[in-house]
Amino acid sequence: MYILRYLILLFAPLFVLVQVQGSYGASCPGKKIVQQYLKKTFRRDISVIKVEPSPVPTFCEVQVNFRGQKSILYIDQKGKFLATAQIYRISDGTNITKEAISKLNRFTDSEIKKLNELTAFTVNSKGKLLYLVVDPECPYCKRAEAILAPLLKKREIQLKVLFFPLSFHKGAREECISIICDNKGFEGLRGQYRSKNQCQKGRKKVENTLRFLEHKGIRGIPTYIFTDGQYYSGVLGREALIKRLGLPASKDVAVRKSK
């Protein structure tokens, strides 16, 4: 049960093929027949949202909904194979499956408002708005925070931080609650602040954040959530982040490009 769920929803970087019966021409199989294949193959209540051509020739993209979470599978045009996969564009290394899933699970305007309610703390009152989902014990989050720090210092970004402590990070939940309860903000996060203050307000906010983001299908951290509702899980480099936020390129980047 859990293996299939993780293959479908957590998008393991493996190309897993499952043979099914069927015969079609060059176009994609119909939505109804793909629905039948999913039910027969996975024996789960997975509903098909849409079937359309994928960036890979001979394969079609299948948008699905499983327990309120949207994901992507692939099926060949002849309707013989289903695949759970992540597809990368070789020319620039872009994970196009990940990008498609992000668009599919875009935060709505009402969900963006919910993010504001769940924000643990805000850094700066002006600048390009960015939501960041982190765990104080996550080493990748520390890399993301270090990249953001100079942009925050220059007030180019307004950052809203949401806490998502992973269950296997001992003490992370308590750190999150402490930072909220003692109002320690960004410095508390970077310094992994922790106290005995586990106030009800902090506990409730962390629990509600975990519940809400898990329902949206977010599992990895750090996760950046942008004002257009799209999100990205993983560390974004400085240049990629600046480009995504629409900030002017830094002078050092411009010098490197001119050489």
Place of tokens 């499983």: 66
pLDDT computed for residue 26 by the predictor = 56
**Band (128; pLDDT cuts 50, 70, 90):** very high
pLDDT computed for residue 19 by the predictor = 53
This prediction has a pTM of: 0.74
What per-residue string of b and e applies to 147-167 under the rule 16 or more CB within 10 Å gives b?
Answer: bbeebbeeebbbbbbbbbbee
pLDDT computed for residue 194 by the predictor = 94
Average pLDDT of the chain to the nearest whole number: 86
Residue 14 has pLDDT above 70, yes or no: no
Q: What phi and psi, each to the nearest 5 degrees, are found at residue 119? A: -60, 130
Instruction: Provide the β-strand partners of residue 73.
Output: 62
pLDDT computed for residue 16 by the predictor = 54
pLDDT computed for residue 25 by the predictor = 45
Q: What whole-number percentage of the chain has pLDDT above 90?
A: 64
Q: Which two tokens stand for residue 175?
A: 């750190």
Q: Is the peptide bond before 29 cis (omega within 30 degrees of 0)?
A: no
Instruction: Tell me the chain's radius of gyration from C-alpha atoms.
Output: 21
Tell which residue, 75, 72, 118, 84, has the closest CA to residue 15: 84
Residue 255 has pLDDT above 80, yes or no: no
Average pLDDT over residues 34-53: 90
Query: If one looks up domain 109-258 in CATH, what number appears?
Result: 3.40.30.10
Determine the Cα–Cα distance for residues 161 and 152; give it in Å rounded to an integer. 13
Q: What whole-number percentage of the chain has pLDDT above 70?
A: 86
Q: Where are the beta strands (DSSP E) in the chain?
A: 16-19, 46-53, 59-66, 69-76, 81-84, 88-89, 94-95, 121-123, 128-134, 157-163, 223-226, 231-233
Residue 251 has pLDDT above 60, yes or no: no
Cα-to-chain-centroid distance, residue 157: 20
Domain ranges of the chain: 2-104, 109-258
Instruction: Give SS3 for 121.
Output: strand
Q: Where are the beta strands (DSSP E) in 54-202?
A: 59-66, 69-76, 81-84, 88-89, 94-95, 121-123, 128-134, 157-163
Element holding 178 (H helix, E strand): helix 172-181
* Cα–Cα distances in angstroms (integers) from residue 169 to residues 101, 121, 172, in the given order: 27, 21, 6
Model pLDDT for residues 50-108, shown as the tens digit of each residue: 999 998 888 999 999 987 788 999 999 999 999 988 899 999 888 888 888 888 889 99
pLDDT computed for residue 67 by the predictor = 78
Average pLDDT over residues 151-156: 95
Burial class (CB in 10 A: 0-12, 13-18, 19+), 111: middle
**Band (169; pLDDT cuts 50, 70, 90):** very high
pLDDT computed for residue 3 by the predictor = 36
